[in-house]
Amino acid sequence: MTLESRPPAINPTAEDAYWRDAYRREPYYRSELTYDDYAPAYRVGYTGPVRRSGEFEQLEPQLKDDFDRVRGKSRLRWEEAREATRAAWRRATRNEHPH
């Protein structure tokens, strides 16, 4: 496995803290929703690159299934959660998270 093909190292605690602070500034944010509504989507997004190999678009059906499995009491449906998941995926794959 080359360095480039290795999945990103993710610190779930740091990612959760980042999104808990940042979610209100995201373009898809809706003020009637809380962080608890978005959290499962973010979790699927930042853990996705560690668990799966490929691009977001090609893996979207599996990511949707992951979200549906872990969404709990979130009021989001996949169609609404997709952009939050994608944002967390992008952050994880760009290595923008603190190490």
Instruction: Give domain status of residue 1, yes or no.
Output: no
C-alpha–C-alpha distance, residues 7 and 23, integer Å: 24
Q: With respect to residue 82, please indicate whether it lies within any of the assigned structural domains.
A: yes
**Which of 10, 75, 63, 64 has the alpha carbon at shortest distance from 39?**
75
6 assigned to some structural domain: no
User: Looking at the 3D structure of the chain, how many domains does it have?
Assistant: 1
Structural domain range at position 77: 12-93
Inside any domain, residue 5: no
- Cβ count within 10 A of residue 11: 13
What is d(CA 6, CA 76) in angstroms, rounded to the nearest whole number? 31
**Model confidence pLDDT, tens digit, residues 14-61:** 999 999 999 999 999 999 999 999 999 999 999 999 999 999 999 999
Residue 4 in domain:
no
Q: Residue 95: what pLDDT?
A: 62
Distance, CA of 46 to CA of 89 (rounded, Å): 5
pLDDT beyond 50 at 2 = no
CA angle 25, 29, 33 (to 5 degrees): 120
